[in-house]
Chain A
Amino acid sequence: DAKTTQPPSMDCAEGRAANLPCNHSTISGNEYVYWYRQIHSQGPQYIIHGLKNNETNEMASLIITEDRKSSTLILPHATLRDTAVYYCIVSYPYNFNKFYFGSGTKLNVKP
């Protein structure tokens, strides 16, 4: 079962930053936070992951609170193509049988 809590849906205006929250209050010391997304009718796509420090790549930024009980995925300039379901997953690396995708957040980017 998912160890994370995400809002079921969010809206974002095209060109604005999308900030997707995730609560993971029971996260263990060495568990990572992973983010994937699934665009309609496609397979899930990896976005970013982190342990303690904030992370940034070409797709997004991941901000993890100091107590690690929550995190935020930031898409700096959302486009219509970012409309998707975003999954926040907490897991130990390679603990694949505990890699629960949950229900995710449906992000609707609007023109």
Chain B
Amino acid sequence: KAGVTQTPRYLIKTRGQQVTLSCSPISGHRSVSWYQQTPGQGLQFLFEYFSETQRNKGNFPGRFSGRQFSNSRSEMNVSTLELGDSALYLCASSLGGTDLAKNIQYFGAGTRLSVL
């Protein structure tokens, strides 16, 4: 079974631009969660989508948004990029049900975003 696929792996953007990152979950997984990883703040939760609905949200500004499609693939968008948005963005997929014992998150390799 294929793992979680994130595209692209690397991105370079300039301040003020916007960017879209993509995440394809493991087949059969209905939940996709997004995290930002930086040396200063560590791993921070952005949001989680389940069955095309945002189910949970972290403490990030509205410039960070996401969506999920009917095939469970998810995209994350960051508008008006700032230097501080430079980070590794990780997505994780899981079954998404209410049985937490089975709701294990599996991560993709990440998209490294550099904002110049």
Say whether A associates with B. no
B residues at A contact (CB < 8 Å): none
